[in-house]
Amino acid sequence: MTTVDRANHTTDNQEDLLTRLASQHNLASLLDCIVSEAMQPISLYDKDGEANHHNVASHAALTRKTVTVTDAYEDDDFDFSGTKKFDESTGYRSTSFLTQPLLDHQGEVIGVLQLLNAQDARGEVVEFASSDLPHINALAKYAAISLNNQILIHSHKEFLDSFIKALASITDVRSPHTSLHCQRIPELTELIARAACEDKTGYFKDFNLDDEEWYELSVAAWLHDCGKLATPDYVVDKATKLHMIWDDDCAFLETANTGGEFMRPEDQERVRSLAHVTWQNEAGETVPLLSDEEVHNLCISRGTLNDEERATINRHIDITIDILEAHATESGFQHSAQHA
C-alpha cells in the first residue's frame, strides 16, 4: 500500500468513525463507541498475575500516583507501542503525557485520566508543568465524580433489571398454565418492535425507538403481568367452574362444570332445577344437591370464572399500571404503563 493509499484508507476509516459517533444520541452509547473504536482494554495484571507496570495508565492506577512523560518517543520507562501505532494510523503525534488516577468517594481507583500534548502560549507542544497539577487534580476530581455517578447509575439499573426479571419469574412459577409467559412476552415484544422499526415503506415507516424508549418498552414487557402477584391462586388456576368448591359425579353437572365457549340458557335452567334435589350428607342432614354458590358458578355462560372472579383477575391490570406509573415517577420513563 502506497503512502497515498494509506492516507486515503485512514481518512475513510476516520470518516466512518465520525459518522458512527455522530449517530449516537445516548451518552453511554457514545462513550462505548469511542472506547471500542479508539482504545484497547488495558489489563492491570498479566496472565501470570504480575502487575502491569509497562503501560503508563495501568502503572498510574496501580501506584495511585500521577505520572508525567516529556516525550513518549524518547521514554524508556513505559511501552508506548500502542500510542505509536495509533499515531501512525491517524497522523497525530503524541508527545507529552500526564496520567492521573481517578478515585471514588471510598478512595478506590475507578479509572485513569490521561492528558496529551500540553502547549505553551505559542501553541508549541511542551511537557506538563508542575504549576498545571493543581488544576489537573481539580479536573480529575470532577471526572471521578462524574464517572462514579455513571457507575452507580449503571449498577442501579442492573439491580432494577434483575429485580424486574425476578418479579416476572415469580409470576410465572405461580401457575403451570402461564409458565414462561412473562419471559416470552419481552422476546415477542422486541421482535414486533424491531420489525416496526425496520419498516421503511409501510405503516410504520416513521416509527423508531431510541435507547431509552427501547429500555422503557422492555421494562413494560417484563412487568406487564406483575399485577397477577395480587391475584389469588385459586382464581389464576381455576380449571373448572366448581374448582375448589365441589365437583359433582353426575354426567351433566360434570360437563357443565368444565366450562366452554358458551352455555345455553336451557342448560343453565337445568342446573337450577337440579339444585332443588336433596340428599342426606354423612351427618344425616337433608341438604340441597347444589348450594347457591355452586349454582351461581355452574351457570357461568362463558369460561369458568364468575363475574366476581373475573373482576379479581382483571384487577391485576390496575395493579400493573399502578406499579409501572410509580416506576415512571422514579425513573422518568413516562410511557411504560401505556406500553404494558
Q: Kindly indicate the confidence band of residue 153, based on its pLDDT and cuts at 50, 70 and 90.
A: confident
Query: Does 339 have pLDDT greater than 70?
Result: no
Question: So what's the pLDDT on residue 7?
Answer: 35
Parse the chain into domains and list their residue ranges: 3-149, 174-235+311-339, 239-304
Question: So what's the pLDDT on residue 20?
Answer: 54
Q: Kindly indicate the confidence band of residue 78, based on its pLDDT and cuts at 50, 70 and 90.
A: very high
> Selecting from 3.90.1300.10, 3.30.450.40, 3.40.50.720, 3.30.110.60, what CATH number does the domain 3-149 have?
3.30.450.40
The x, y and z cell numbers of residue 135, run together, are 488544576
The x, y and z cell numbers of residue 289, run together, are 344437591
Look at the chain and count its residues.
Answer: 340
Question: So what's the pLDDT on residue 90?
Answer: 85
Mean pLDDT of all residues belonging to the chain: 77
Give 174-194 pLDDT, tens digit per residue: 766 666 788 889 999 999 999
Continuous segment of H or E residues that includes residue 301:
none
Place of cell 335452567: 269
Question: So what's the pLDDT on residue 244?
Answer: 43
Give 297-319 pLDDT, tens digit per residue: 787 877 777 777 777 777 767 77
Lowest mean pLDDT among 23-27, 67-71, 142-146, 320-324: 23-27
Q: How large is the average pLDDT for residues 229-257?
A: 59
| Spatial CB neighbours of 226, under 8 Å, sequence gap ≥ 6 | 167, 168, 171, 316, 319, 320, 323
User: Quick one: DSSP state of residue 128?
Assistant: P
78-92, 151-165, 264-278: range with highest mean pLDDT: 78-92
Question: So what's the pLDDT on residue 146?
Answer: 86
β partners of residue 45: 51
Task: Tell me the C-alpha to C-alpha distance, in Å, between residue 205 and each of 197, 200, 208.
Answer: 7, 4, 8
Alpha-carbon distance 166 to 229, whole Å? 12
Place of cell 499515531: 87
Phi/psi at 156 (5° precision): -65, -40
Query: Does 209 have pLDDT greater than 80?
Result: yes
Q: What pTM value is reported for the model?
A: 0.51
**Exposed (0-12), middle (13-18) or buried (19+): which is 288, by Cβ within 10 Å?**
middle
Alpha-carbon distance 60 to 72, whole Å? 15
Question: So what's the pLDDT on residue 236?
Answer: 64
CA atoms lying within 13 Å on the CB side of residue 199: 15
